[in-house]
Chains A and B, each alone.
Chain A
């Protein structure tokens, strides 16, 4: 994590340079290619703003408390906090099948399992002070405007302070996090930049690239081969180019909301609830001009071919996480080990967290998917015999017209569960001595009991570890067309689609009896004619000899 911070810091300097370059390039581009649709910049949206926030008196103040900034924002943006309160960014949960599901309630994953009870996780909440269940979800001043709208790149939320920024210079390991200058940050606000979104979305799960597999800090400035849409070399899309926003509602998949709802071009953005954008929204459903390739689009998602590997940038993504090995101590002290994974050094073991593996340029796994994941909750009773347990399996199959074969990162975990109640157990990770926190006391029984209590789940006291799969749909990091997945990556005996067996796939599948017939008919035929030919040759030779003998015999007479 230290390395991530340093990278983040280095990026800030780089970002300014990039921003200037982008602006310059965009200008040149605009001058050279007037009318070209290629210029959709994020930073021009800031340059084109009608308000310069550094000129507002309300923001020109010595703020010493971030919620005061929010109150200043709300003086003009009267509806903003109310809007944010309705969003998933704020609620961290949504009602699915009559039940609240999400980070905020009931949901779990196979990273740190549950956010609730672990205030360090709430540093990524778009609010201030989600320390425990007493957090006031209705208070408007608790909305953190700055984490998304900061334009300085200096605004960081503190894990120790439940999402408040660092009000004082703070030593984080070897790194000194300077106190935030709230005036400068408040005066810099504008439309969210990539860095704002990625601060949380790239670093969730404990560090850069840990969670998604297709969303890491490399998207701040990707080369064209890494992401054709976001690379400044060409299209230079911002996050919001696809994740359309309106009244703080942002298009995207989350619990209770599908990732995409149609497979056609221009389905009427305005009418559609949620305004989610799919590849097809812009490219249409048959964009290839080659019939054989277009034929795929009714069953295969664009991403399956056009994102050939995950994590193609410089950063690793986490592939496995085994909690069962955590809490080992050396001389009574926690320790960590590092290893090289695909050329990049990363933790392979931490006493706090257990054993990890990581990867770069990882081949995705493929599943049917129609934009929704069936999230299990802390109340779901699991069958330990059917491990690994799919935490949030995608839905759909071949016969479902809405489903497509879609690439996934499958994060494989091994995490604690209650062997009596057969339910996944949340862990109290972060906290002071006496709270039972695993990262302080290194005692599983205590940490699970505390976690269960904070998440309002029953705990029998009996636990073990069980293998689980977490599904992460892959959709970012679209590669240039020439890097698309080869035909035989799927259409071959050694197919990427091994395991998706509810349809016949040319090149991969065959019928046993037909193959047997083919073998007998062709190889049998070959052997037959060889035998027949050999016999013809031998008998002809013999006849010739016999003839010659007879002729010889005749001569003698």
Chain B
């Protein structure tokens, strides 16, 4: 359907970006599994092992998040996340209507503008909202006994509720995120791009 001469292959996701994406994916998956087990929803690793694993991964993940932020800020990638309302309506219209009519995605992907306006909004909320909130509430959770001893906070309930709420929000994101990767040119295009970094884009 498309003329081959009109498209070219570009590197959309850089090596470190791919690394942090997959490392984070693995860690969030494990954090969700262990965290929800600790929340009493199922038994998998055993409560004690779940706590140990969760705490360990939590600290490693915190380190990774710091690296991710550094990378995003120093490489200018932050511009990819800069929110815009322009095109939000068109993107929404596509997902709610156009896609069923066989329309093409309205967003033209380029290495400098790889996220559509909805993704920009979503990722800025996740990366700079939910993730740091989860890290911070996780730290408060971990150091709660010390905070209580120091008289800073008496009960863990608010921390726990916030952390759990955030966890559900992230899990919900993961579910939708996994579906959204099927919106490439082919079903597997996006996942391939996140593995190899390369995506075919139209000029």
Partner of B169, one of A511, A521, A536: A521
Task: Determine if A87 is an interface residue (Cβ-Cβ < 8 Å).
Answer: no
Is A445 on the interface with B (CB-CB < 8 A)?
no
Is A514 in contact with B164, judged by CB distance below 8 angstroms?
yes
A190 to chain B, nearest CB (A): 46
A-B contact pairs, 21 of them (CB 8 A): A292-B52, A292-B55, A298-B145, A398-B155, A399-B154, A487-B46, A488-B43, A503-B155, A503-B156, A504-B155, A507-B38, A508-B40, A510-B40, A511-B157, A518-B164, A518-B168, A521-B169, A521-B172, A525-B172, A525-B176, A543-B102
List 9 tightest A-B contacts by C-beta distance, closest first.
A518-B168, A487-B47, A521-B172, A504-B157, A529-B179, A539-B100, A507-B40, A525-B175, A295-B145
Count residues of B near A (Cβ-Cβ below 8 Å): 35
Within 8 A of B (CB), among A510-557: 510-511, 514, 517-518, 521-522, 524-526, 528-529, 532-533, 535-536, 539-540, 543
CA distance A533 to B175 in the complex (A): 13
Q: A504 to B55, alpha carbons, bound, how many Å?
A: 19
The interface of chain B, by Cβ under 8 A from chain A, is: 38-40, 43, 46-48, 51-52, 55, 95, 99-102, 145, 148-149, 154-157, 160-161, 164-165, 167-169, 171-172, 175-176, 179, 182
Residues in chain A near residue B52, CB distance under 8 A: 292
Number of A-B contacts (CB under 8 A): 91
Give the residues in chain A near B165, CB-CB below 8 Å.
511, 514, 517-518
In the bound complex, what is the Cα–Cα distance between A506 and B54 (angstroms)?
14
Cα of A206 to Cα of B47 in the assembled complex, Å:
42
- Judge whether B176 and A536 touch: CB under 8 Å: no
Residues of B contacting A506 with CB < 8 Å?
A: 38-39, 156, 160
Contact B40 A504 (CB under 8 A): no
Chain B residues within 8 Å of A224, by CB: none
Complex Cα gap A493–B48 (Å): 16
A183 at the interface (CB under 8 A from B): no
Which A residues touch B179, using CB under 8 A? 529, 532-533
Given A503-B157, A521-B168, 12 more A-B residue pairs with CB atoms under 8 Å apart are: A486-B47, A487-B47, A488-B46, A488-B47, A504-B156, A504-B157, A506-B38, A521-B172, A522-B171, A522-B175, A524-B172, A529-B175
Complex CA gap A517/B168 in Å reads: 8
- Distance in angstroms from B138 CB to nearest chain A CB is 13
CA of A533 to CA of B171, assembled, Å:
19
Q: Shortest beta-carbon distance, B154 to chain A, in Å?
A: 7
Q: Is the CB of B40 within 8 A of A493?
A: yes
From the candidates A507, A509, A511, name the one contacting B47 in the complex (CB within 8 A): A507
Q: Is A53 an interface residue (CB 8 A)?
A: no
Residues of B within 8 A of A292 (CB): 48, 51-52, 55
A328 CB → nearest B CB, Å: 47
Q: Which residues of A contact B155 (CB under 8 A)?
A: 398, 503-504
With A292-B52, A295-B145: A491-B40 Cβ-Cβ less than 8 Å: yes
Among A487, A492, A514, A517, contact of B48 (Cβ-Cβ < 8 Å): A487
Task: Report chain A residues within 8 Å CB of B156.
Answer: 503-504, 506
| Cβ–Cβ contact B145 & A529, under 8 A | no
Q: Look across to chain A and name the residue whose beta carbon is closest to the beta carbon of B165.
A: A514
Give residues of chain A (486-501) contacting chain B, Cβ–Cβ below 8 Å. 486-488, 491-493
Chain B at the A interface: mostly helix, strand, loop or mixed? helix
Q: A521-B169, A529-B176, A533-B179 are contacts. A510–B39 as well, Cβ < 8 Å? A: yes
Binding site for B on A (CB under 8 A): 292, 295, 298, 398-399, 486-488, 491-493, 503-504, 506-511, 514, 517-518, 521-522, 524-526, 528-529, 532-533, 535-536, 539-540, 543
CB atoms of B38 and A518 under 8 A apart: no
Are B47 and A491 neighbours in the complex by a CB distance under 8 Å? Answer: yes
Contacts of B149 in A (CB 8 A): 298
B185 to chain A, nearest CB (A): 14
How far is A27 from B154 in the complex, measured between Cα atoms in Å?
A: 52
A511 in contact with B164 given A298-B149, A399-B154 (CB within 8 Å):
yes
Interchain CA distance A180-B84 in the complex, whole Å: 99
B171 surroundings in chain A (CB, below 8 A): 518, 521-522
B200 to chain A, nearest CB (A): 20
- Give Cα A510–Cα B156 distance, bound, in whole angstroms: 12
User: Within the assembled complex, what's the spacing in Å between the Cα atoms of A521 and B130?
Assistant: 14
Chain A residues contacting B102 (CB-CB under 8 Å) are 539-540, 543
On chain A, the residues within 8 Å of B167 by CB distance are 518
Least Cβ distance of B125 to chain A in Å?
A: 13
CB distance from B181 to the nearest CB of A (A): 11
Please determine whether B161 and A539 come into contact, CB atoms closer than 8 angstroms: no
Chain B residues closer than 8 Å to A533, beta-carbon distance: 179, 182
Chain A residue contacts of B51, Cβ below 8 A: 292, 487
Instruction: Write the chain B residue with the least CB distance to A546.
Output: B102
- A504 and B160 contacting across the interface, CB-CB below 8 Å: yes
Shortest CB-to-CB span from B57 to chain A, Å, is: 14
Are A522 and B172 in contact, with the CB atoms below 8 A?
yes
Q: Are B161 and A511 in contact (CB under 8 A)?
A: yes
Report the bound CA distance from A504 to B157 in whole Å: 5
Question: What are the residues of chain A within 8 A of B160 when measuring CB–CB?
Answer: 504, 506, 509
CA distance A508 to B40 in the complex (A): 6
| Chain B hits for A510, CB < 8 A | 39-40, 164
Please judge, given known A-B contacts A504-B156, A517-B168, whether A539 and B40 are in contact too, CB under 8 Å. Answer: no
Residue contact A492 to B168, C-beta cutoff 8 Å: no
Task: Give the distance in Å from the alpha carbon of A525 to the alpha carbon of B160 in the complex.
Answer: 23
CB contacts (< 8 Å) of A532 on chain B: these are: 95, 179
CA gap between A493 and B168 in the complex, in Å: 18
Residues of A within 8 A of B55 (CB): 292
* Cα–Cα, bound, A522→B174 (Å): 9
Q: Is the CB of B47 within 8 A of A514?
A: no
* Bound form: Cα–Cα A276–B46 in Å: 37
User: How far is B154's CA from A491's CA once the two chains are assembled, in angstroms?
Assistant: 20
Cβ distance B38 to chain A, nearest Cβ, rounded Å: 6
Q: State A514–B163 Cα separation when bound (angstroms).
A: 10
Which residue of chain A is the closest to B55 with respect to CB atoms?
Answer: A292
A535 lies within 8 A of B100 (CB): yes
Decide: B39 and A507 in contact? CB cutoff 8 A.
yes
| Nearest B-chain residue to A544, judged by Cβ | B102
Contacts of B40 in A (CB 8 A): 491-493, 507-508, 510
Q: State whether A536 and B100 are in contact (beta carbons under 8 Å apart), knowing that A298-B145, A487-B46 are contacts in the complex.
A: yes
